[in-house]
Amino acid sequence: MTDVARAAGVAIGTVSNVLNHPDKVAPATLERVQGAIAQLGFVRNTNAQQLAAGRSRSIGLVVIDISNSLFVDIARGAQRYATELSMNVLVANSDNRIDQQRADLDFFDGARVGGILLAPMEDAGDDVARIRTHGRPTIMLNYDTGRNDCCQVLVDNEEVGYLAARHLIEIGRTRLAFVGGRDYLQPVALRRRGVRRAVAEENGRVTLQEIPTENLDPPGGLRAGEELAPQVRDGRLDGVIAVTDLLAMALIQVFGAEGIAVPGDVAVMGCDHNSAAWGGMIPLTSVQMQGIDMGREGVRLLLAELGEDPATHEHVTTVLRPELVVRESTVGRSAISAASV
């Protein structure tokens, strides 16, 4: 940190502020200090060989599933900010496999990247602790360890579910279903809780049934759709929140095949704004998970942690707010056309 302060011509406290409280620093100073950081490379745990190879100026990003556009957004957000700092981001896809996730973490550790951003499938505390002993911090994305043992960037997933249910209630739907399974996955459990809260606030005017699915991909949605179709016909169901967009897309497909109109007979929406689910016949209402911001904030926290003494570093959790994206599957094409013209 002393080197950075000297290079930027500022006090050490200013460098610390840049890393930890950038909002407190004048823009021009911020830029000068960040420039010096970029110029000098990471200020700890580097050596000439690594700097020469440029590898300590690289960040490893491990994601669960690169075909989910949330993780593509995270990669883009992280890379754009890294590029501003003359760093680069490498992406490893754990492809929903815990052994692959460990192999990816080990690759980045062995390749001596400066640090790691990890969007984990489940608790990876042991791996993270091991890698930290090599001087490489890991920032957790979209996963709350609940232990304050690393910096984290989260989206308020309870708010995701709440926004989804509020939207259906506001467009007049009163007989809702929540479709989703694998509650051991944090986002699923939290979104479910948010949906329940929005329904509870209606004091019985809105009903909610919960349809468990084995997985979060289209096959689970097809089975749930077959279960729900008779209820739509009987007027017992007029709004569905699927915990993922892929489930929602499958539901719409089944309803279409059964002659049920979306959103006429039943409004359907997803919760994770996954562009892989946009290929269906009816554009899908969903909730934007702010992946670009998540990636950017992850790099910022990583840089902050690298700039501090590990003995005194205090971990930070940033929580991002999700945002509703309204499309045809809940309000119909005419409403969207009217709004967009």
Q: Which whole-number Å values give the CA distances from 140 to 12, 33, 241, 320, in the listed order?
A: 27, 25, 27, 14
Instruction: Provide, rounded to whole angstroms, the least separation between the CB of residue 103 and a copy of itself.
Output: 5
When asked if residue 44 is in the footprint of a copy of itself (CB under 8 A), the reply is no
Total residues found in the chain within this entry: 341
Instruction: Provide, rounded to whole angstroms, the least separation between the CB of residue 278 and a copy of itself.
Output: 3
Q: How far apart are CA 14 and CA 29, in angstroms?
A: 9
Cα angle 257, 263, 267 (rounded to 5 degrees) comes to 100
Task: For a copy of itself, give the closer residue by CB, 181 or 280.
Answer: 280
Q: Which of 42, 135, 138, 128 is nearest to 87 (CA)?
A: 42
Task: For a copy of itself, give the closer residue by CB, 80 or 313.
Answer: 80
- DSSP character at residue 112: T
When asked if residue 283 is in the footprint of a copy of itself (CB under 8 A), the reply is yes
Q: How far apart are CA 180 and CA 170, in angstroms?
A: 22
When asked if residue 262 is in the footprint of a copy of itself (CB under 8 A), the reply is no
Question: What is the sign, positive or negative, of the torsion defined by CA atoms of 287, 288, 291, 297?
Answer: negative
Contact letters for a copy of itself, residues 107-146 (x by CB under 8 A): x--xx-----------------------------------
Q: Which of 44, 21, 25 is nearest to 300 (CA)?
A: 21
Candidates 17, 34, 46, 79: give the one binding a copy of itself (CB under 8 A): 79
The answer to whether the beta carbons of residues 248 and 242 sit under 8 Å apart is: yes
Which stretches within the chain are classed as H helix? 2-8, 12-20, 27-40, 48-53, 69-84, 98-110, 125-132, 157-170, 186-200, 218-233, 245-257, 291-306, 328-340
Candidates 39, 83, 148, 174: give the one binding a copy of itself (CB under 8 A): 83
For a copy of itself, the binding residues in 211-250 under the rule CB under 8 A are: none
Candidates 281, 310, 319, 338: give the one binding a copy of itself (CB under 8 A): 281
Which part of the chain contacts a copy of itself (CB under 8 A), choosing from 97-105, 158-166, 173-181, 195-203? 97-105
Task: For a copy of itself, give the closer residue by CB, 102 or 182.
Answer: 102
Task: For a copy of itself, give the closer residue by CB, 88 or 186.
Answer: 88
When asked if residue 257 is in the footprint of a copy of itself (CB under 8 A), the reply is yes
Question: What is the sign, positive or negative, of the torsion defined by CA atoms of 195, 200, 202, 204?
Answer: positive
Task: For a copy of itself, give the closer residue by CB, 193 or 333.
Answer: 333
Judged by CB under 8 A, the number of residues near a copy of itself is: 45
Candidates 7, 85, 320, 336: give the one binding a copy of itself (CB under 8 A): 336
When asked if residue 293 is in the footprint of a copy of itself (CB under 8 A), the reply is no
Cα angle 245, 242, 294 (rounded to 5 degrees) comes to 50
Residue located via tokens 């050490």: 12
When asked if residue 341 is in the footprint of a copy of itself (CB under 8 A), the reply is yes
Instruction: Provide, rounded to whole angstroms, the least separation between the CB of residue 325 and a copy of itself.
Output: 9
Q: Which of 243, 233, 232, 238 is nearest to 174 (CA)?
A: 238
Binding site residues, a copy of itself, CB under 8 A: 53-55, 58, 66-67, 69, 72-73, 75-76, 79-80, 83, 88-93, 95, 97, 100, 103-104, 106-107, 110-111, 256-257, 275-276, 278-281, 283, 327-328, 333, 336-337, 340-341
